[in-house]
Structure 1
Amino acid sequence: MQPEIQLSNSTTQLESTQNKVLRNTYMMLGLTMIPTVIGAYMGLNINFAFMAQHPILSLLGMLAVMFGMFMGIAANRNNALGVVLLLGVTFLLGLMLGPILQAALHFNNGAQLIGMAAGGTGAIFLTLSTIATVTKKDFSFLGKFLMVGLVMLILASLANAFFQVPVASLAISAIAIMLFAGYLLYDVSQIVHGGETNYVMATLAIYLDIYNIFVNLLNLLMALSGDRD
């Protein structure tokens, strides 16, 4: 009888910890939207001509800075510096939205396209996070497939940066949306099933999923629904 009670108490404690991590992650995720919006607003007023002229160099430089900050967040995940670095990353990523937001606003329906991309991203997040949370299904089996897909997506994106094929760009965006939707399921499932117990790292993972879905969805909408007349 006693082992059963101990097992029940252990299960209850584990569920309580998982719920706390999930709750803190969603709260922090909401907080990251503030520096993201500030960065995006500032990015609208910055001239990104250098990035347009040197796309490969700019991409590699940005990736180097971001991965450096990601490593800093991972190293400080259990203290306040990790939170500060996380907010700093979301500000920089908001700033990096500048070029695509500027491009969107050149369309007559640019504001509508941005709103549709934001709304679509929110709908995807709410739907998939609810599926992962309510069904309690373990999506950890997706991890290896998603990693292979991510590597292939990065290679395809780098190749297209050289060749600049519009159709390939659209295909890459469509695949990216599906890939990061899969990562959303995976990352929320990791929290629900105790695979991720640190809310700072959980927030970073889910934020990147949302960010990439938004960027690629906006890219598709501009290509398919943009009105230049």
Structure 2
Amino acid sequence: MNTQQRTSTLQHSGVNEAEVSKLFRNTYSLLAMTLTFSALVAFGSMTFNLPHPGIIIMLVGFYGLLFLTTKLRNSPWGLVSTFAFTGFLGYTLGPILNMYLSLPNGGSLVTMALGMTALVFFSLSAYAILTRKDFSFLSGFIMAGFVVLLCAVVASFFIEISGLQMAISAGFVLFSSAVILYQTSSIIHGGEDNYIMATITLFVSIYNLFLSLLHLLGIFGGDD
């Protein structure tokens, strides 16, 4: 009986490992495709010098497409909405990059921000995968961080406080890093079983991480 139980446990573990591996493949394949698509849209936005849509359209587009993707996550249309969501973010990125590239040292700032974003993402992902640590304890920090950052962003529209923008960017770097660890761990330990939602979470974390690092580099680079 004990032998049968051990065999059943091993078989169950094998199934779980296979499911996790499949989820990883699907997530990172889709993430690579959406990052490439978003980069192409951003390049088009830069080339045609398209204007930034503004904060209202940005928020409506972001949360509207995020809600749509969440609703469609279990259907093939979820892939369509995923590319629409990431493409929209790529479009909003174009005018921001053009602004930085117009600076004397803009090219180096953008390149450095891209390199740092890639380094942080791959380092944190590799750490979570190789150590297989459970980072579910970060859920409380992520929720609290989201509320604090949201309040800080709203306050920044009405109150001018020295260093607030820098603090917000630094906060987003920490927040995005925590989300990357949490989401990667969640895939490993079964907390996330939908590759579309895993992709969206990681994509937004990379997007916020890049913009926050770019802003911090811009501050220290002397553009503010």
Q: TM-score range by the shorter chain?
A: over 0.9
- Counterpart CA distance in 2 for 1:78 and 1:207 is 18
Is 1:46 the counterpart of 2:53? The answer is no
Is 1:34 the counterpart of 2:30? The answer is no
Is 1:111 the counterpart of 2:111? The answer is no
> Which of 50, 59, 76 is residue 55 of structure 2 equivalent to?
59
Higher mean C-alpha deviation, range 126-135 or range 164-173: 164-173
- Counterpart CA distance in 1 for 2:99 and 2:185 is 35
Could you tell me which residue of structure 2 aligns to residue 157 of structure 1? 153
1:15 counterpart SS class: helix
CA positional deviation for 1:104? 0.7
CA positional deviation for 1:227? 6.5
TM-score by length of structure 1 reads: 0.91
Is 1:78 the counterpart of 2:66? The answer is no
Is 1:223 the counterpart of 2:213? The answer is no
1:97 counterpart SS class: helix
CA positional deviation for 1:60? 3.7
- Counterpart CA distance in 1 for 2:135 and 2:32 is 24
> What percent of counterpart residues are identical?
36
CA positional deviation for 1:154? 0.9
- Counterpart CA distance in 2 for 1:47 and 1:73 is 25
Question: Is the CA contact (8 Å cut-off) linking 1:35 and 1:88 kept in structure 2?
Answer: no
Q: Deviations over 1:169-217 (max 9, x none)?
A: 0111011101110111001100011111111110000101111000000
Question: Is the CA contact (8 Å cut-off) linking 1:108 and 1:227 kept in structure 2?
Answer: no
Q: Deviations over 1:129-181 (max 9, x none)?
A: 00110100000110111111111101101110222445110111011101110
Question: Is the CA contact (8 Å cut-off) linking 1:121 and 1:210 kept in structure 2?
Answer: yes
- Aligned residue pairs total 220
- Counterpart CA distance in 1 for 2:184 and 2:14 is 19
CA positional deviation for 1:28? 0.7
Question: Is the CA contact (8 Å cut-off) linking 2:61 and 2:88 kept in structure 1?
Answer: no
CA positional deviation for 1:42? 2.9
- Counterpart CA distance in 2 for 1:110 and 1:78 is 41
Question: Is the CA contact (8 Å cut-off) linking 1:43 and 1:99 kept in structure 2?
Answer: yes
Structure 2 gap ranges (5+): none
With over 3 angstroms needed to count, the CA separation of the structure-2 counterparts of 1:163 and 1:42, relative to structure 1, is farther
Is 1:180 the counterpart of 2:176? The answer is yes
Runs ≥4 residues deviating over 4 A? none
With over 3 angstroms needed to count, the CA separation of the structure-2 counterparts of 1:196 and 1:113, relative to structure 1, is same
Higher mean C-alpha deviation, range 201-210 or range 219-228: 219-228
With over 3 angstroms needed to count, the CA separation of the structure-2 counterparts of 1:109 and 1:175, relative to structure 1, is same
CA positional deviation for 1:112? 1.1
AA matched with 1:66: F
Structure 1 gap ranges (5+): 52-57
RMSD: 1.6
Could you tell me which residue of structure 2 aligns to residue 210 of structure 1? 206
With over 3 angstroms needed to count, the CA separation of the structure-2 counterparts of 1:98 and 1:165, relative to structure 1, is farther
Could you tell me which residue of structure 2 aligns to residue 55 of structure 1? none
- Counterpart CA distance in 2 for 1:29 and 1:164 is 37
